[in-house]
Chain A
Amino acid sequence: MARIVVDPVTRIEGHLRIEAQVEGGMISDAWSSGTMFRGIELILRGRDPREAWIWAQRICGVCTMVHALASVNAVEDALGIEVPENARLVRNIIASTQTIQDHVVHFYHLHALDWVDVVSALKADPAKTSQLAQSISDWPMSSAKYFKGVQDRVAALVASKQLSLFGAGYWGHPAYHLPPEANLMAVAHYLEALTFQKEFIRIHAVLGGKNPHLQTFLVGGMATSIDPNEPNATINPERIDFLLEVAKSAGDFVSQVYIPDVLAVAGFYRDWFGLGSGVGNYMSYGGYPQGSIKDPADFFLPRGIILNRDLSKVHPVDPANVTEYVARSWYDYSGGDQVAKHPYEGETNPKYSGPTPPYDFLQVDQKYSWLKAPRYQDQSMEVGPLARMLVAYASGQQDVKALVDATLAKLKAPATALFSTLGRVAARALETQLLASRLVGWIEELRDNMASGNVRIHNGEKWDPSTWPDTARGFGFFEAPRGSLGHWVEIEDKAIKNYQAVVPSTWNAGPRDAHGQRGPYEAALLKTPVADPERPLEILRTVHSFDPCLACAVHVVDATGQLKARAKA
């Protein structure tokens, strides 16, 4: 029996530590710990709610803009503001662009090296690699000469004995199964995707001035002025053409590179359709309003919950049922460790009780993480692309159903194969394809509105704080790339009184609760084989399949205790 520690878990956002118990070559128990705390919600208190999004956006620079959107949604909910249709469309365009870019980066740059052995690519025959590439896709960059060039680049790197970012990989690990040609093809696409991500994200630069950390949201709408006749309007016919061109090129990359690669890799790792399942409950708040944000039935991606892997029933979601525990987290609650608190009543009194650094192991039988443990009606929920696709599939959303069924047929796998490590990888890819296609439609709707003379982009009725009630509170939500995101805001005397975010990676990476119920990462790692405890590649596979984002996950709320006292000091 051995305790394995992976810290830092790299190729993620933020600071995550996994401790796992291994017995007989298999994980018998696991603990997920977030090891960094900033306290952004506390910093937000007392500030102007109209600028909360600028601050909240900095919760994360990888899934940049998602907290900005959840934040303006929350403040608009509190103040009763409906945004104009053009603003809704621009938000959908920005949000889907983010998710598409984020998913591509996740697969190629954060996750692929768990399946792809870079050094093995040196043994590949470029001519056979070309045949392989052309057999699965029409993507033009597939000649033997092209792959030889990529191989030469890798060879030069290895020959230099300075492997740079690739220096400490688990190359040659027995759990790598791709043939050298598939590895070479994947390395080529790793490099192509580096170019893709920076080109595609220029949609954000046009609409938000820059990426990461766009500067374009407004409570009540967007700062993207729109006018068919003005060359200096943020959105005009020329910019629409640019957006459409970039969006369409993304569709090509996703359908001709990303999707075929995922299917090819999955074909060599079929056992991972049976590993890494986890808690088996899946939640989606739903996203991409097609009319009012108050009408979830009309969202592009539906709202709902799947319980115990039962796809025959979709349960409703009520934000009132969200609570958080701190029984195994480094915080105190006024009511003690047994209680769970709703975000509006939430408190965060950080009280570190872990080992004094430097340390070798956490006290996993006590408190062991800066993440709280969110629960829905006292149950652990997995959130993210898999949850969204399952909820949409079970809800009968036509596009999703067709895409998922066709993919399962290609993989010759039943729907139950989706409840797995590879299921998350596949769901993420399918969602990317779905959104890449829908993105073009949203840009066209915006173009048509503009052409018909609709230039309304902001609802300024409540911009002046003198129009606000003395107190107000609201809930803003969004399906971020990594899952269900909620922001709760309380406004008093024109300023933020309390602010709280319950974010995707808190749902997924959170620790045990007062009942000892594991979080989704912890549950998914159970029964994972570990061939070599010194090089725990398999742990990375399952943890990375969730696409961890730890900076998001650690947050602080209404600090009625220690932190408030400090704030006054």
Chain B
Amino acid sequence: MKSSRHALPAALQARGVSRREFVKFCELMVATLALPPRYVSAVEKAFSQTTRPVLVWLEFQDCAGNTESMLRTSNPTVAEFVLELLSWEYHETIMAGAGKQAEEALERVVRENKGQYIAVVEGAIPTADGGVYCTIAGKTALDIATHVCTNAAASIAVGACAWDGGLVRANPNPTGAVGLQEAVPSIKVVNLGGCPHNPANTAAVLTHYLTFHEMPALDQYNRPLFAYGNIIHDQCERRAHYDAGRFVEEWGDEGHRKGYCLYKMGCKGPEATYNCPTVRWNDGTSWPVKSGHGCIACASHRFWDTKSPFYKRLPSVPGFGVDVTAAEIGWVGTGVVAAAMVAQVAGNFVRDRIRPKTAEKTDEPKDSRGD
């Protein structure tokens, strides 16, 4: 990002941001990324440039669920993102311009900010039959993704579909859909899986990138470890019930009303990684297990085919009801949420060294049309 760095108050005041609000935001980002507090000033600097970093958001075979999820962000709010922190110059669902003017705005970014802007991609990219299953302004999704992302400084895939093709790629994959990395192999994509992505994680990744000019530590799927490094089961508030052998046996039964473990109702938490239980959704209000339904492992690789049927009990979770076996399925050897969070923070201090082996299966479902 080209920029001249100015004194913090002047640049911020011009954007109508109070210093207190701004520092609060910086501290929160540092906390989400599990960085030491001394990084707050680095985050402040990154967002105090007179020229705001440019972001474009592309939508292909999508449901706009990731866009909607982004609109729910609170730290910062979407208004702060688009008005003060970044220059959000293209995003079909919410931009003012349409048609020719919208396309010109995108082209201008590619031309004038070449190598300096962030590209966010939502939705799968169809490759069958010359790409006719998704066109925008008469151009195929594949052509647009290749053109925009190969000229970007960084590309981020938000949601399951942009990561690995998601639902659109589920068997029989009628349109030959793939994720961004497969569609444009020459770039390195950071993947923020989930259906949808959690905007708290996306905000943290953007902050990390703008602060350090590099992405946070990533796992084998190029997902940031701070968000995808821990087993859901290990962070789950119902874990104590699992360890004690207390399960929901039928929907609405006494166990369900008391908040017992949902394993027998098909919960995929023991096989899934995500920070869903700790970050939660909609301002930390809740997450699916808290609200009474099992996890469907929506942040896992090719989850639609590998984790369904969603109401079938996982076959191979070892010895439920016995504390010690938890270590076999989780990176963190205890079911205590607090301990898991401490471990997570510790892991992220040494960002570049930790590559924990996740318990997620890495089986590749066969594409009937991935050809």
Contact = CB atoms under 8 A, between A and B. Distances in A.
A58 B195 contact: yes
A168 B72 contact: no
22 contacts: A9-B99, A10-B92, A11-B96, A15-B134, A37-B134, A61-B62, A61-B196, A62-B67, A105-B71, A159-B14, A162-B52, A167-B96, A201-B72, A202-B283, A209-B290, A210-B287, A215-B291, A230-B257, A358-B138, A460-B251, A556-B174, A567-B174
Nearest to B251: A458
B116 interface: no
A317 B83 CA distance: 47
Contacts of A341: none
Nearest to A33: B135
A145 interface: no
A8 B259 contact: no
A157 B135 CA distance: 32
B281 interface: yes
B138 A39 contact: no
Interface in B61-110: 61-69, 71-74, 77-79, 82-83, 86-89, 91-105
A548 to B, nearest CB: 11
B168 interface: yes
Nearest to A61: B65
Given A6-B99, A194-B71, A215 B136 contact: no
Please tell me the size bucket of the interface on B.
35 or more
B77 A209 contact: no
Interface string B229-252: 000000000000000000000111
Contacts of A466: none
A157 B52 CA distance: 11
Interface stretch (A219-227, A258-266, A415-423, A440-448): A219-227
A563 interface: yes
Interface string A19-37: 0000000000000000111
A372 B73 CA distance: 36
Given A109-B94, A359-B138, A210 B288 contact: yes
Contacts of B368: 566-569
A455 B253 CA distance: 9
A166 interface: yes
A79 interface: no
Given A206-B291, A357-B135, A566 B82 contact: no
Q: Which one of B64, B67, B78 has the highest number of Cβ atoms from chain A below 10 Å of its Cβ?
A: B64
B292 to A, nearest CB: 4
Contact of A7 (B138, B177, B289): B138
Contact of B94 (A43, A165, A566): A165
A379 interface: no
Contacts of A198: 71-74, 77, 282-283
Nearest to B55: A164
Given A10-B97, A210-B282, A230-B257, A15 B293 contact: no
A183 B174 CA distance: 46
Contacts of B195: 58, 213
B277 to A, nearest CB: 11
B169 to A, nearest CB: 9
A195 interface: yes
Given A38-B175, A458-B252, A209 B281 contact: yes
Nearest to A215: B288
Contacts of A62: 63-65, 67-68, 93
A79 to B, nearest CB: 15
Given A9-B98, A64-B68, A153-B83, A567 B172 contact: yes
Nearest to B105: A168
Interface stretch (A46-54, A281-289, A468-476): A46-54
A470 to B, nearest CB: 20
Interface in B155-176: 167-168, 170-175
